[in-house]
Structure 1
Amino acid sequence: MGIATMGAVILDCPDPVALGRFYAALLGGESEEVGQGWVALRGTEGTPLGFQAAPGFVPPKWPAPDASQQFHLDLTVEDLDAAEREVLALGAKPLDADDKARSWRVYADPAGHPFCLCAG
């Protein structure tokens, strides 16, 4: 048995309300303000996501051979092309999504965090 269990994944960002809305539209559930500069995503399966205001936030660089992206989310979808259209309409930016033959594509959320859409 480990020392701890995973409680949540928290993303630092300049606007937790906006990022919470983005992920609520992407993953389902509801974005709920739970404190000053703090938003939680409720009603989703798996590890909970939260969003925290971070003054001076600098988004990760991807790809960057001289810097680490720290982490990214892998999100499983049934139809990559349909999911791509939807995440782009929500404000995601393509980072590495040109190779349509692969089973995954890389995007950045509106705050710049990388995430992958992966064929399920």
Structure 2
Amino acid sequence: MAIATLGTVVLDCPDPVALGLFYAGLLGGHIEVEADDWVSLSGVPGTPLAFQAAPGFVPPKWPAADASQQFHLDLTVDDLDAAEKGALALGAKPLDAGDRDRSWRVYADPAGHPFCLCAD
């Protein structure tokens, strides 16, 4: 028997509204400002996503031999090329150009969190 269920994935960041707008553009839905330091994303199926202000936030390094990235989001897309174009237009930065024939590509959101676009 499970002890808990996954309620919300929360990303620490320097600007919750800006990061909420990025992910709203990427995933759909809209942001709800709940406090000066907290924004949640609504209208997106799946596990809720929220953004919390973190003073002194330092983005993870990817890849880094001397540090763990902690976690990343895998986002499923129908068309990698179209999704990449949209993500870059929203402010994502490519982290791994890699093999263009593989089924996933790695980016950083505007706060520096790594995420992958993965072909469905």
TM-score by length of 2: 0.98
- One-letter identity of the residue aligned with 1:51: F
> Between the two proteins, what is the percent identity of the paired residues?
77
Give 1:98 shift: 3.6
SS in 1 for 2:50: strand
TM-score by length of 1: 0.98
The separation in 1 between residues aligned to 2:36 and 2:21, in whole angstroms, is 16
2:111 aligned residue: 111
Q: State the Cα deviation string for residues 57-105 of structure 1 (Å, max 9, x = none).
A: 0000000011000000000000000100110000000001342111000
The separation in 1 between residues aligned to 2:19 and 2:99, in whole angstroms, is 27
SS in 2 for 1:51: strand
Contact 1:97 1:107 in 2 (8 A): no
1:97 equivalent in alignment to 2:106: no
Matches within 5 A, 1:18-33: 18-33=18-33
SS in 2 for 1:22: helix
The separation in 2 between residues aligned to 1:84 and 1:97, in whole angstroms, is 11
SS in 2 for 1:61: coil
**Alignment length (residue pairs):** 120
The separation in 1 between residues aligned to 2:31 and 2:42, in whole angstroms, is 6
The separation in 2 between residues aligned to 1:112 and 1:36, in whole angstroms, is 21
**Structure 2 runs not aligned, ≥5 long:** none
**Structure 1 runs not aligned, ≥5 long:** none
